[in-house]
Amino acid sequence: AQKITQTQPGMFVQEKEAVTLDCTYDTSDPSYGLFWYKQPSSGEMIFLIYQGSYDQQNATEGRYSLNFQKARKSANLVISASQLGDSAMYFCAMREGNTGGFKTIFGAGTRLFVKA
Amino acid sequence: DGGITQSPKYLFRKEGQNVTLSCEQNLNHDAMYWYRQDPGQGLRLIYYSQIVNDFQKGDIAEGYSVSREKKESFPLTVTSAQKNPTAFYLCASSARREYTEAFFGQGTRLTVV
């Protein structure tokens, strides 16, 4: 069954340091996409980064990178040079391909606190 | 501008009443989704639809109903059978492929008193 697990309810990081948010997933579909979203206190969902199951290289978008380890079924988000504005909830999500009906599910989230 | 519009932003209803949350998108997306979020929690999938006139139950469909009569619209009805309807509801849409991100509306905060 499709499943996303985020084991860190909360994380603290010092401003300007890097932080890794963990995400593991489970699926039997060979084709799937992995996504990370940021949710500030306003409630909006902001798309950060995407990784496809067949991608050979880890995705990067500015200060965000995705550490994709397919054999371990993990897709950790790395935020470099943390900023105070990075304080928010972060969600890992997965969408299966046609076999899974393109269903998209989310993990429980990690709340990140950036300290000045 | 293309996007997803949820209305209203805040909704108050009396216990026992059905209420319908609106979700409209002009992104020409085939797939649409409804999620429920409780305070400090993740997003739980209520219903999703991949094409017009078809939809599937998510993980917490009990007490909810949907329709997908038009590609642009995916309204969610919270029925009186839903035991704890007070929550933040998010609508999303995406292309019907596994490698494109979902776009979200601004959410509707439903409070049942």
Strands (E), A1-116: 3-5, 10-14, 19-21, 24-26, 32-39, 46-52, 60-61, 64-69, 74-79, 88-96, 104-106, 110-115
Q: How far is B106 from chain A (nearest CA, A)?
A: 6
The predicted pLDDT at position A41 comes to 92
**pLDDT tier, A2 (very low <50, low <70, confident <90, very high otherwise):** confident
Q: Do A43 and B107 touch (CB under 8 A)?
A: yes
Q: Do B92 and A45 touch (CB under 8 A)?
A: yes
Q: Looking at the partner chain, which of A35, A104, A109 has a beta carbon nearest the beta carbon of B33?
A: A104
Percent with pLDDT over 70 in chain B: 99
The residue assigned the tokens 């649409």 is B32
Q: Do A47 and B103 touch (CB under 8 A)?
A: yes
Name the residue among B59, B109, B68, B65 with its Cα closest to residue B89: B109
Residue A116 corresponds to which tokens in the numbers above? 């000045």
DSSP tag of B84: -
Percent with pLDDT over 70 in chain A: 100
Q: Looking at the partner chain, which of A44, A53, A97 has a beta carbon nearest the beta carbon of B106?
A: A44
pLDDT, mean of residues B22-45: 94
Q: Is the pLDDT of residue B12 over 80?
A: yes
Contacts of A91 in chain B (CB under 8 A): 42-43
Percent with pLDDT over 90 in chain A: 86
Q: Is the pLDDT of residue B1 over 70?
A: no
The predicted pLDDT at position B92 comes to 96
Taking only the tens place, the pLDDT of each residue in A60-104 is: 999 999 999 999 999 999 999 999 999 999 999 999 887 777 888
pLDDT, mean of residues B3-14: 93
Bridge partner residues of A115 (DSSP): A14
